[in-house]
Amino acid sequence: MSPNPRSAPRRERARAATIDEIKQTALALMRERGTVEVRFTDIARVMDMTPPALYRYFADRDELVSALIKDAYEGLGEAVAKARAEAPPGDIAAAWVAAGQAYRRWAHEEPQQFALILGMPLPDYAAPPDGSTSEAAGRAMAQLSSLFVEALHQGRLGPPRIREVHPAVELCARIKHEQHEVAVGPAHFQAMMHAWAALHGFTSLEANGHFAWMDPEARDALFLGQLRLAAEAAGLPVPA
């Protein structure tokens, strides 16, 4: 064992650390400038490197952005999952509020990342080829779906306030059900989508500054109202 047997992994770790530093620097610059645009030149300058050096780690700028998008998907998913896990166990209403607040808070704190994954898709970014077209959609649905399942098991899932489920929607629900992505019936599937849309709408408008004329306290209250309304319509226990 003349050299270090972990020498190769060490180099890999250094590489991983550099990749991470690049991404973190890119995020910091995005936050600083309030844009999703990011210049290789700036990243290099902050990192005390020359721009071409970055090409050892990312083939081009799009590849960096793709990596940032992937991270953002995970970041949002984790934030929501963590909030749900930290809510009082068994309390569906609290879990729904916690998840919604996490979604909103993440969007508010990371508007650039939020725009990256849920705003207009980049022209050339291809979703990771591992299946799911939109990972964020998948995660959101999974989080929501499990909430409904938990409520069902507790016998606290009421009928959603939906007049009738259109056959096409029912078909979609069945497909999702067979893919084990959604474990509830068609009516609750539709209710889930409505709840997600309402949550996302408020979040998106607020994150993009269209509620800036409102008092923060009013925004908070309004958001809670939106969550209550969605829960009520979906047949979930209504938060206090």
Partner DNA sequence: CGTGTTTGTTATGGAGCTTAACGAAGCTGA
Partner DNA sequence: TCAGCTTCGTTAAGCTCCATAACAAACACG
- The two tokens of residue 188 are 């609750």
Single out the residue of 31, 46, 62, 127 in contact with DNA (rule: CB under 7 A). 62
Q: Looking at 13-21, 72-80, 110-118, 201-209, which segment touches DNA (CB under 7 A)?
A: 13-21
The nearer residue to DNA, 42 or 91, going by C-beta atoms, is 42
Contact indicator for 46, 22 with CB cutoff of 8 Å: no
- Rounded to a whole number of angstroms, the minimum distance from the CB of residue 210 to a copy of itself is 5
- Rounded to a whole number of angstroms, the minimum distance from the CB of residue 119 to a copy of itself is 5
Q: Does residue number 39 form part of the binding site for a copy of itself (CB under 8 A)?
A: no
Measuring CA to CA, which residue among 167, 166, 168, 161 is closest to residue 188?
Answer: 161
Residues 75-114 that bind a copy of itself (CB under 8 A): 111-112
Single out the residue of 31, 46, 61, 229 in contact with DNA (rule: CB under 7 A). 61
Q: Give the Cα-Cα-Cα angle 91, 96, 98 (nearest 5 degrees).
A: 90
Residues 217-236 that bind a copy of itself (CB under 8 A): 217-218, 220-222, 225-226, 228-229, 232-233
Q: Does residue number 208 form part of the binding site for a copy of itself (CB under 8 A)?
A: yes
Q: How far apart, in whole angstroms, are the C-alpha atoms of residue 79 and residue 140?
A: 11
Helix 92-109 and helix 216-234, axial crossing angle in degrees, nearest 10 = 140
With CB under 5 to 8 Å by kind, the binding choice for 18 among a copy of itself, DNA, none is: DNA
Q: How far apart, in whole angstroms, are the C-alpha atoms of residue 122 and residue 209?
A: 21
162 — phi, psi (to 5°)? -130, 130
Torsion of CA 175, 134, 79, 152, to 10 degrees: -10
Q: Does residue number 42 form part of the binding site for DNA (CB under 7 A)?
A: yes
The nearer residue to a copy of itself, 155 or 209, going by C-beta atoms, is 209
HSE-up of residue 3 (Cα within 13 Å, Cβ side): 6
In the chain, the N- to C-terminal Cα span, in Å, equals 65
Residues that bind a copy of itself (CB under 8 A): 33-36, 111-112, 115, 118-123, 133-134, 136-137, 161-163, 166, 168-169, 171-172, 190, 193-194, 196-205, 207-215, 217-218, 220-222, 225-226, 228-229, 232-233
Residues that bind DNA (CB under 7 A): 2-4, 7-8, 10-11, 14-15, 18, 38-42, 44, 48-53, 55-57, 59-62
